[in-house]
Chain A
Amino acid sequence: METIVDSTDGDLARAVAARRPGSSEAAESELYRRFAPRVRLYGRRHLRDEDAAGDLVQQVMLLTIEKLRGGSVRDVDQIASFVLGVSRTKVKDLKRLEWRREKLREVFIVPEVVEAPVDEATLDVDRLEACLARLAERERVVVLLTFYAERTASEVGRELGVKEGHVRVIRHRAVERLRTCMTSREVAQ
């Protein structure tokens, strides 16, 4: 039997737009569950701020549901593009408003809307520490400079006296090794 989680994004958007009692609420929830993590990632990527990304989710999903309910989304089969478009606009707004987060909260947040789901698999930081220690020195420095210090491959290359292309190779290999290690049963903590 097909359930709501098997529905396409377009089917969900259509159900929300149709506002059928009993089905549109479930469709809204599923649409939110599906897109909120993607909007949050987009926000983290562009705003580099967890709180701002959380605000973005609220704003984008509220507007999306409102537009669907109001029949203003022209092509519901392209709902992913619509959500992305709203996300882009909102990120530009957030940047323009120089992170006036508190004011935005007052305007946009609606308590009835569920909190954005935690989209990321919770990571065992103790295990990650053990995995990080297993990397070669160069690999460890490269991943820390990339993910923590937010340095580009070119900047890391200058810092370490290594070519940019080589930094990318090291970085890719290090991430793969960390991933493998995180799922391995052998890591002693």
Chain B
Amino acid sequence: MPRCQAPISEETLLDYWARELAEGDETDRLEEHLFACGDCSARLSQLAALGSGLTTLVRQGRVAGIVSRALLNRMQRDGIHVRMYSLAPGETVPCAVFPGDDLVVAALRADFSGVDAVTLSVTGPAGSPGGQTGEVPVAGPDAEVFWATPAAVVRQMPSMRLQLTLVSAGATPAELGSYVLDHTASTLSGT
């Protein structure tokens, strides 16, 4: 097969796969090229494989870190079992993972007025650092920050208290809220 003389850019392939190209001449031309060109169709196939892999991970609840409300809604629609704990600043909430759970999510509320990104710090027992996540996007004053952990990971955790702290990002960081998850380890087999 002859090599491609006019490879489609990665950005265009990505836009096409994400349905961001306007249906019409541009998409028609692109599809003509993809059907005639083994190189570009193979590159699109790799992109599609990446998308399939990401979908597989989400469906298995293997997503850790910050997620969004739209993502959670879609997961719940797809039958993924999300156990959600909602916390206000200063609140301590008892938590555990249960049979059938796929993902455990802490929904952190705060007054995000004037804030467009935050840093989330996690502190374990006796003040041991549990990690820090920076540049977490926040959309609006009433937004929430959703911190997800795969249920499979939570099942391995001993009983412990985790302190979560949100600090505004930017030149003058300010604490927006501190939260405690009082975790009880699973005692039943398979939970």
A residues with a Cβ closer than 8 A to B are 5-9, 34-35, 37-38, 41-42, 44-45, 80-81, 83-84, 87, 119-123, 125, 128-129, 132-133, 136-138, 140-141, 143-153, 155, 158-162, 168, 171-172, 175-176, 178-179, 182
**Given A128-B57, A129-B57, A146-B51, 13 new contacts (CB under 8 A):** A9-B1, A44-B48, A45-B17, A133-B64, A137-B134, A140-B65, A141-B71, A144-B54, A171-B14, A171-B18, A172-B11, A175-B47, A182-B50
Least CB distance, A155 to chain B, in whole angstroms: 7
Q: Which residues of B contact A80 (CB under 8 A)?
A: 32, 35-36
Contact A83 B50 (CB under 8 A): no
Least CB distance, A32 to chain B, in whole angstroms: 14
Instruction: Give the contacts of B1-44 with A (CB-CB under 8 A).
Output: 1-2, 10-11, 14-20, 31-32, 34-36, 38, 41-42, 44
Assuming the contacts A38-B35, A45-B16, A81-B35, asked whether A159 and B69 have C-beta atoms less than 8 A apart, the reply is yes
A6 to B136, CA, bound (A): 51
Contact B46 A121 (CB under 8 A): yes
Nearest A residue to B49, CB-CB: A120
**Could you say which of B35, B36, B42, B67 contacts A141, with CB atoms under 8 Å apart?**
B67
A144 to B134, CA, bound (A): 18
The count of residues in chain B whose C-beta lies closer than 8 Å to any C-beta of chain A is 55
- For this complex, 12 residue pairs linking A to B, each with C-beta atoms less than 8 Å apart, are A35-B35, A120-B45, A120-B49, A121-B46, A128-B57, A129-B62, A141-B66, A141-B71, A146-B51, A147-B50, A150-B18, A175-B10
Contact A132 B68 (CB under 8 A): no
Assuming the contacts A145-B70, A146-B18, A161-B138, asked whether A41 and B55 have C-beta atoms less than 8 A apart, the reply is no
Contact A120 B48 (CB under 8 A): yes
Q: Which residues of A contact B50 (CB under 8 A)?
A: 123, 128, 147, 175, 178-179, 182
Assuming the contacts A80-B35, A147-B50, A171-B14, asked whether A160 and B65 have C-beta atoms less than 8 A apart, the reply is no
Contact B54 A148 (CB under 8 A): yes
